[in-house]
Chains A and B, each alone.
Chain A
Amino acid sequence: GQQVMQIPQYQHVQEGEDFTTYCNSSTTLSNIQWYKQRPGGHPVFLIQLVKSGEVKKQKRLTFQFGEAKKNSSLHITATQTTDVGTYFCAGPFQGGSEKLVFGKGTKLTVNP
């Protein structure tokens, strides 16, 4: 079945260092979405990428969607303690589905 894989599973950085998480799908995605979940919290929508090769920025966060629309990345520049949480990518299950398939997430911890 369709799988969405994320690496790394955990990332521990010093405040000020950069951070990147990678997402790969076993199938081509119509779009990819990124969510952030703070410890004890719920997934909060960050962004959606739709076009092949698309790059979007939100302040220190840069999101990319691969040319083949099967992979994506989230890069955070100069991490802050407020960036702590688990970052999930999610894509629609096989074409016109309503079901979002989530990756296992990358848990980011930031040392002050």
Chain B
Amino acid sequence: EPEVTQTPSHQVTQMGQEVILRCVPISNHLYFYWYRQILGQKVEFLVSFYNNEISEKSEIFDDQFSVERPDGSNFTLKIRSTKLEDSAMYFCASSRTSGRATDTQYFGPGTRLTVL
């Protein structure tokens, strides 16, 4: 069964450094998402992406964040200057057709980001 993959599984960085989290969505999916989950808390939406542009973003997704689909398979989340509070599990998700949260979103295994 196809699945979303993410690399790395764990990223440790110093405060102020840039990080890039990578995702490979399911190949025939058209909508891509990033969510984050601070330890012990709920999953929070960051951004959705369709047709090579951001279609929706949350208030968490400020100017320090950016997303890109550099080629036909990868989808990346960049955090320009990490802060301690960016420490969280970051999940990538993708869905096949509808971006209106009616189509199932399949989540990747996550990247645990630790900012020191």
Contact = CB atoms under 8 A, between A and B. Distances in A.
Interface of A: 30-31, 33, 35, 41-45, 48, 50, 88, 90-93, 96-105
A43 B104 CA distance: 12
Interface in B79-116: 91, 99-102, 104-110
B43 A102 contact: yes
A44 B45 CA distance: 16
Interface of B: 31, 33, 35, 41-45, 48, 50, 55-56, 58, 91, 99-102, 104-110
B3 to A, nearest CB: 10
B115 to A, nearest CB: 20
A103 B105 CA distance: 16
Contacts of A42: 91, 107-110
A43 B91 contact: yes
Contacts of B102: 30-31, 48, 50, 92
Given A92-B101, A98-B31, A99-B48, A44 B107 contact: yes
Nearest to A95: B100
Nearest to A44: B107
18 contacts: A30-B100, A30-B102, A31-B102, A41-B109, A42-B110, A44-B107, A45-B106, A48-B104, A88-B42, A92-B101, A97-B56, A97-B100, A98-B48, A98-B55, A98-B101, A99-B48, A100-B35, A104-B41
B104 A45 contact: yes
A6 to B, nearest CB: 9
Contact of A45 (B31, B58, B105): B105
Nearest to A100: B101
Contacts of B100: 30, 92, 96-98
Nearest to B49: A98
Nearest to A99: B45
